[in-house]
Amino acid sequence: MAVQYSLFFIQRFKGKVLFNVPMSEYTSIKIGGPADVMAFPQDEGDLKDILAFAEAKSFPFYILGGGTNLLVRDGGIRSIVINMSEGFKDIVWEDETNASVGAGVRLSELLFQCRERGLTGFEFASGIPGTIGGAVMMNAGAYGGEMKDIVEGVEVIGKKGVKNFIPKKDLAFAYRKAEVPKGAAVTRAHMKFEKSTPDAVKEKIRDLKERRKTTAHITFPNAGSVFRNPENKSAGRLIEEAGLKGERSGDAQISEVHANYIVNLGAAKAKDVLSLMALIRDRVYSQKGVVLEPEIKVIGEDQ
Distance CA 61, CA 41 (A): 13
Catalytic, 117? Answer no
Distance CA 17, CA 40 (A): 6
Q: What region does 114 belong to: left with phi over 0, alpha with psi -120 to 50, or beta?
A: alpha
Burial status of residue 156 (CB atoms within 10 A of its CB: 0-12, 13-18, 19 or more) = buried
Catalytic, 295? Answer yes
What DSSP letter does each residue of 227-273 carry, written as one string?
Answer: BPPPTTS-HHHHHHHTT-TT-EETTEEE-SS-TT-EEE-SS--HHHH
Burial 251-270 (b: 16+ CB within 10 A, else e): bbbbbebbbbbbbbeeebbb
| CA angle (21, 24, 28) in 5-degree steps | 130
Amino acid at 115: R
Report CA 181 to chain centroid distance, whole Å: 17
Cα Rg of the chain, angstroms: 20
Per annotation, catalytic residue among 106, 176, 188, 283: 176
Per annotation, catalytic residue among 24, 126, 225, 249: 225
Catalytic, 78? Answer no
Question: What is the layout of strands, in order, in the sheet containing 91-93?
Answer: 91-93, 98-102, 185-192, 151-157, 163-167
- Known catalytic residues are 176, 225, 295
